[in-house]
Protein backbone atom coordinates (compact mmCIF):
# COMPACT_ATOMS: atom_id res chain seq x y z
CA UNK A 1 0.00 0.00 0.00
CA UNK A 2 1.40 3.38 -0.96
CA UNK A 3 1.85 6.07 1.67
CA UNK A 4 -0.90 8.68 1.40
CA UNK A 5 -0.01 12.25 0.50
CA UNK A 6 -0.54 14.40 3.60
CA UNK A 7 -0.27 18.17 3.51
CA UNK A 8 -1.41 21.29 5.31
CA UNK A 9 -5.00 22.20 4.55
CA UNK A 10 -5.73 25.35 2.56
CA UNK A 11 -8.77 27.56 2.00
CA UNK A 12 -9.49 25.68 -1.22
CA UNK A 13 -10.09 22.54 0.88
CA UNK A 14 -12.92 24.08 2.90
CA UNK A 15 -15.80 22.65 0.85
CA UNK A 16 -14.28 19.15 1.02
CA UNK A 17 -13.62 19.51 4.76
CA UNK A 18 -17.22 20.57 5.40
CA UNK A 19 -18.58 17.64 3.37
CA UNK A 20 -16.28 15.21 5.20
CA UNK A 21 -17.27 16.66 8.57
CA UNK A 22 -20.96 16.30 7.76
CA UNK A 23 -20.49 12.70 6.57
CA UNK A 24 -18.36 11.69 9.55
CA UNK A 25 -20.12 13.19 12.56
CA UNK A 26 -23.76 13.27 13.60
CA UNK A 27 -23.13 16.00 16.16
CA UNK A 28 -20.27 18.11 17.54
CA UNK A 29 -19.27 19.07 14.02
CA UNK A 30 -16.71 21.72 13.25
CA UNK A 31 -18.29 24.68 11.51
CA UNK A 32 -17.00 26.52 8.46
CA UNK A 33 -16.05 29.35 10.79
CA UNK A 34 -14.06 26.94 12.98
CA UNK A 35 -12.21 25.47 10.01
CA UNK A 36 -11.33 28.97 8.81
CA UNK A 37 -10.06 29.84 12.29
CA UNK A 38 -7.89 26.72 12.52
CA UNK A 39 -6.43 27.36 9.06
CA UNK A 40 -5.12 30.73 10.28
CA UNK A 41 -4.30 29.86 13.89
CA UNK A 42 -0.58 29.50 14.66
CA UNK A 43 -1.62 27.16 17.49
CA UNK A 44 -3.25 24.63 15.15
CA UNK A 45 -2.20 22.21 12.44
CA UNK A 46 -4.99 21.15 10.07
CA UNK A 47 -3.70 18.33 7.88
CA UNK A 48 -5.42 16.59 4.98
CA UNK A 49 -4.91 13.47 2.93
CA UNK A 50 -4.92 14.54 -0.70
CA UNK A 51 -5.72 11.76 -3.16
CA UNK A 52 -5.71 14.12 -6.13
CA UNK A 53 -9.47 14.16 -6.55
CA UNK A 54 -10.77 15.01 -3.11
CA UNK A 55 -9.95 15.06 0.59
CA UNK A 56 -10.83 11.64 2.05
CA UNK A 57 -9.45 12.35 5.54
CA UNK A 58 -8.16 15.08 7.83
CA UNK A 59 -6.64 15.54 11.27
CA UNK A 60 -6.55 18.61 13.46
CA UNK A 61 -3.97 19.11 16.21
CA UNK A 62 -4.04 22.07 18.57
CA UNK A 63 -1.24 23.43 20.72
CA UNK A 64 -1.20 25.72 23.73
CA UNK A 65 1.61 28.23 23.98
CA UNK A 66 4.05 27.29 26.74
CA UNK A 67 2.67 23.75 27.05
CA UNK A 68 4.35 20.48 26.13
CA UNK A 69 0.96 18.85 25.60
CA UNK A 70 -0.58 18.66 22.12
CA UNK A 71 -4.23 17.74 21.60
CA UNK A 72 -5.51 15.66 18.74
CA UNK A 73 -8.72 17.63 18.34
CA UNK A 74 -10.36 15.78 15.48
CA UNK A 75 -9.80 13.04 12.92
CA UNK A 76 -12.25 12.18 10.15
CA UNK A 77 -12.06 9.59 7.38
CA UNK A 78 -14.68 9.30 4.65
CA UNK A 79 -16.61 6.06 4.84
CA UNK A 80 -15.48 5.03 1.34
CA UNK A 81 -11.83 5.53 2.36
CA UNK A 82 -11.88 3.55 5.61
CA UNK A 83 -9.63 0.54 5.94
CA UNK A 84 -6.83 2.12 3.88
CA UNK A 85 -4.70 3.19 6.88
CA UNK A 86 -5.45 6.89 6.49
CA UNK A 87 -6.24 7.49 10.17
CA UNK A 88 -3.00 5.81 11.20
CA UNK A 89 -1.00 7.82 8.67
CA UNK A 90 -2.60 11.04 9.90
CA UNK A 91 -1.87 10.03 13.50
CA UNK A 92 1.81 9.44 12.65
CA UNK A 93 1.90 12.82 10.90
CA UNK A 94 0.23 14.55 13.85
CA UNK A 95 2.72 13.07 16.30
CA UNK A 96 5.70 14.15 14.16
CA UNK A 97 4.29 17.67 13.92
CA UNK A 98 3.70 17.78 17.67
CA UNK A 99 7.25 16.70 18.44
CA UNK A 100 8.51 19.29 15.97
CA UNK A 101 6.65 21.96 17.96
CA UNK A 102 8.14 20.79 21.24
CA UNK A 103 5.27 18.63 22.50
CA UNK A 104 6.14 15.76 24.79
CA UNK A 105 2.66 14.24 25.03
CA UNK A 106 -0.45 13.94 22.86
CA UNK A 107 -3.93 13.87 24.38
CA UNK A 108 -7.24 13.05 22.73
CA UNK A 109 -10.86 12.26 23.43
CA UNK A 110 -12.81 9.62 21.52
CA UNK A 111 -16.44 8.61 21.68
CA UNK A 112 -16.96 5.62 23.94
CA UNK A 113 -19.07 4.06 21.15
CA UNK A 114 -16.30 4.21 18.51
CA UNK A 115 -14.49 0.88 18.90
CA UNK A 116 -12.47 1.19 15.68
CA UNK A 117 -10.89 4.47 16.78
CA UNK A 118 -10.33 3.15 20.31
CA UNK A 119 -8.49 0.11 18.90
CA UNK A 120 -6.32 2.35 16.72
CA UNK A 121 -5.30 4.61 19.59
CA UNK A 122 -4.61 1.71 21.95
CA UNK A 123 -2.54 -0.10 19.29
CA UNK A 124 -0.53 3.10 18.84
CA UNK A 125 0.39 3.31 22.52
CA UNK A 126 -2.26 5.69 23.84
CA UNK A 127 -3.14 4.96 27.47
CA UNK A 128 -6.68 5.25 28.76
CA UNK A 129 -6.85 8.10 31.30
CA UNK A 130 -10.53 8.11 32.19
CA UNK A 131 -14.11 8.40 31.08
CA UNK A 132 -15.76 11.80 30.61
CA UNK A 133 -19.51 11.29 31.05
CA UNK A 134 -21.90 13.26 28.84
CA UNK A 135 -18.96 14.83 26.97
CA UNK A 136 -20.52 15.15 23.54
CA UNK A 137 -23.45 17.28 22.42
CA UNK A 138 -25.67 14.20 22.06
CA UNK A 139 -24.84 12.97 25.58
CA UNK A 140 -22.30 10.32 24.56
CA UNK A 141 -19.39 9.65 26.88
CA UNK A 142 -15.78 10.24 25.86
CA UNK A 143 -12.73 8.18 26.65
CA UNK A 144 -9.63 10.29 27.29
CA UNK A 145 -6.27 8.96 26.10
CA UNK A 146 -2.72 10.22 26.32
CA UNK A 147 0.62 9.16 24.95
CA UNK A 148 4.19 10.28 25.59
CA UNK A 149 5.75 11.25 22.28
CA UNK A 150 9.03 9.60 21.35
CA UNK A 151 11.38 12.26 20.01
CA UNK A 152 13.85 9.68 18.68
CA UNK A 153 11.19 7.64 16.85
CA UNK A 154 9.81 10.84 15.37
CA UNK A 155 13.24 11.81 14.09
CA UNK A 156 13.72 8.37 12.52
CA UNK A 157 10.30 8.61 10.85
CA UNK A 158 11.10 12.02 9.40
CA UNK A 159 14.42 10.73 8.06
CA UNK A 160 12.70 7.71 6.54
CA UNK A 161 10.20 10.02 4.81
CA UNK A 162 12.98 12.08 3.21
Question: In terms of C-beta density within 10 A (0-12 exposed, 13-18 middle, 19 or more buried), how is residue 45 classed?
Answer: buried
What domains lie within the chain, and their CATH numbers? 6-161 (3.40.630.30)
The answer to whether residues 63 and 44 touch, using CB atoms and an 8 Å cutoff, is yes
Q: From the CB of residue 29, how many other CB atoms can be counted at a distance below 10 Å?
A: 14
Amino acid 152: pLDDT: 58
Say what angle helices 86-100 and 151-161 make with each other, to 10 degrees.
110
| pTM (predicted TM-score) | 0.89
Amino acid 71: pLDDT: 98
Say what angle helices 14-24 and 32-40 make with each other, to 10 degrees.
130
Question: What's the chain's average pLDDT?
Answer: 91
Q: How far apart are CA 25 and CA 23, in angstroms?
A: 6
Amino acid 156: pLDDT: 43
Amino acid 153: pLDDT: 55
| pLDDT surpasses 50 at 162 | no
Q: How far apart are CA 21 and CA 78, in angstroms?
A: 9
Amino acid 53: pLDDT: 78
Reported as a pLDDT band with limits 50, 70 and 90, residue 54 is confident
Encode pLDDT of 6-43 as tens digits.
Answer: 999 999 999 999 999 999 998 899 999 999 999 999 99
Amino acid sequence: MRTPSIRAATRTDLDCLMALESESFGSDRLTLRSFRHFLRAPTAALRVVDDGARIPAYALVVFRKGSTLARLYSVAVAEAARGRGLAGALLDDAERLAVGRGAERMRLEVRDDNPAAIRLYERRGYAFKGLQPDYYEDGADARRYEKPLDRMASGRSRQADS
